[in-house]
Amino acid sequence: MVQIRIREGFKDQILYVIPRHILPRFSEHPLVEPLMPTDIGWYPRAKYHYCERENGTHENILILCVDGSGRYDIDGKQGTLQANQALLIPRNTPHVYWASDAAPWSIYWVHFTGSNADFFTHQSASGERVLSVDEHAMSILQALFTECYKALMTGFVLERMIYASQTLHHLLGCLFFNNRAFSPTLQTSHFHNLDATLIYLNNNVHKPLTLAEMARHADLSPSHFSRLFKEQTSYSPIDYFIHLKVQHACRLLFLTNLTVREIGYELGYEDSAYFSRLFKKVVGMSPTIYRNKPRGEFGESFEPRTHLLD
């Protein structure tokens, strides 16, 4: 019996391949060069799908399995790719992959290159090629894949390539750094999702919140909350909250005529001198000097000091 093998041509498939002769036009742009998709697609229920490259490709490859399963052989290392998993194939690496006969996979896939490409491909430890993807990250990744190939629907023009490149950056960032099934910090048994806490702090930037109040909102003890917060943000809860307040103060200094005293009071500081000292520790200058600086000379891209209360 002859085994059926096909590379593409599946019902309802989506496929975009950027002509190789125009790639240099895009790859030199600073917003595209770090990470550029060169081929991207969606193969639903890809029965008989089979792809073999004896010498690999010049690009790195990411395959995201949504349903079904398949097999792979990457430089002699074999394995199975199942739903809610992603497969990474480094550039110039011999490989073969194929869909299961019993339950052929549905996959999103992308070839990508650029100065940041290898960094992403080698994120997994010990040369592992398969990454598990949690349910939340999976829904985001599917939406970003769709967004990425839709960017190329209107033609291979620079503006759309820039958007596709930035979308791919977001996609890979989510896969590696916002995926609880992979990200080392999110994998830890003591992980506590701080999203609700960060929203709470932002919504209460006008209040003089204490550590106890923050911890109570997170339903944790103050010591446990402080440790987890610093592990996941690199800052103590109080220092992080001060940073939020100063960011808000910067906007008020630029966009309103409120006095420094009034701004400090709005942010929960009755002592304007204390507020000014904190502001200077974060920004490196007093609120008055900051307000008088020409707009555009600097942004609000300052880093909070690790120990603001010293």
Task: Write the pLDDT tens digit of every residue in 12-47.
Answer: 999 999 998 999 989 889 999 999 999 999 999 999
Look at residue 255 and tell me if it is in a domain.
yes
CATH number of the CATH domain containing 110? 2.60.120.280
Does one domain contain both 200 and 158?
no
- Give the pLDDT score at 184: 56
Whether 308 has a pLDDT exceeding 80, the answer reads no
- Give the pLDDT score at 309: 44
Boundary-marking domain end, from 167, 185, 203 = 185
Look at residue 9 and tell me if it is in a domain.
no
Across the range 213-227, mean pLDDT stands at 91
52: its two tokens: 């073999």
Identify the bridge partners of residue 17 per DSSP, sorted by sequence position: 39
Whether 283 has a pLDDT exceeding 70, the answer reads yes
Does one domain contain both 40 and 165?
yes
CATH number of the CATH domain containing 236? 1.10.10.60
- Give the pLDDT score at 126: 63
Nearest one of 10, 138, 9, 114 to 64, comparing CA atoms: 138
Does one domain contain both 165 and 134?
yes
* Confidence band, pLDDT 50/70/90 cuts, at residue 244: very high
Does one domain contain both 147 and 175?
yes
Look at residue 308 and tell me if it is in a domain.
no
* Confidence band, pLDDT 50/70/90 cuts, at residue 193: low
Look at residue 227 and tell me if it is in a domain.
yes
Does one domain contain both 177 and 234?
no
* Confidence band, pLDDT 50/70/90 cuts, at residue 305: very low
Across the range 203-208, mean pLDDT stands at 93
Question: Which of 108-112, 180-184, 249-253, 268-272 has the lowest average pLDDT?
Answer: 180-184
Whether 310 has a pLDDT exceeding 50, the answer reads no
* Confidence band, pLDDT 50/70/90 cuts, at residue 96: very high
Half-sphere exposure at residue 150, Cβ-oriented, CA atoms within 13 angstroms: 7
Q: How many domains, the chain? A: 2
Are the beta carbons of 305 and 282 closer than 8 angstroms? Answer: yes
Across the range 50-60, mean pLDDT stands at 95
Does one domain contain both 181 and 203?
no
- Computed over every residue of the chain, the mean pLDDT equals 88
Does one domain contain both 108 and 220?
no
Across the range 183-204, mean pLDDT stands at 72
With tokens 């929960």, the residue in question is 268
Whether 186 has a pLDDT exceeding 70, the answer reads no
- Give the pLDDT score at 125: 63
What amino acid is encoded at 12 in this protein?
D
* Confidence band, pLDDT 50/70/90 cuts, at residue 68: very high
Look at residue 299 and tell me if it is in a domain.
no
Look at residue 51 and tell me if it is in a domain.
yes
Does one domain contain both 173 and 31?
yes
What percentage of the chain reaches a pLDDT higher than 90?
Answer: 69
- Give the pLDDT score at 67: 96
Look at residue 30 and tell me if it is in a domain.
yes
Task: Quote the Cα angle for 199-246-209, to 5°.
Answer: 50
- Give the pLDDT score at 195: 78
Does one domain contain both 146 and 222?
no
Does one domain contain both 21 and 153?
yes
Look at residue 76 and tell me if it is in a domain.
yes
* Confidence band, pLDDT 50/70/90 cuts, at residue 124: confident
Boundary-marking domain end, from 123, 152, 185 = 185
Helix/strand/coil (H, E, C) string of the chain? Answer: CCCCCECCCCCCCEEEECCHHHHHHHHCCCCCCCCEEEEEEEECCCCCEEEEECCCCCCEEEEEEEECEEEEEECCEEEEEECCEEEEECCCCCEEEEECCCCECEEEEEEEECCCHHHHHCCCHHHCCEEECCHHHHHHHHHHHHHHHHCCCCCCCHHHHHHHHHHHHHHHHHHHHCCCCCCHHHHCCCCCCCHHHHHHHHHCCCCCCCHHHHHHHHCCCHHHHHHHHHHHHCCCHHHHHHHHHHHHHHHHHHHCCCCHHHHHHHCCCCCHHHHHHHHHHHHCCCHHHHHHCCCCCCCCCCCCCCCCCC
Are the beta carbons of 144 and 64 closer than 8 angstroms? Answer: no
Higher confidence at residue 2 or residue 199? Answer: 199
- Give the pLDDT score at 140: 96
Task: Work out the burial of residue 54: count CB atoms within 10 Å of its CB; fewer than 13 is exposed, 13-18 middle, 19 or more buried.
Answer: exposed
Domain around 252: 195-292
Boundary-marking domain end, from 165, 185, 205 = 185
With tokens 């891209």, the residue in question is 301
Does one domain contain both 169 and 288?
no
Are the beta carbons of 230 and 209 closer than 8 angstroms? Answer: no
Does one domain contain both 43 and 74?
yes
* Confidence band, pLDDT 50/70/90 cuts, at residue 95: very high
Whether 304 has a pLDDT exceeding 60, the answer reads no
Interstrand relation of 85-89 and 130-132 (parallel, antiparallel or unpaired): antiparallel
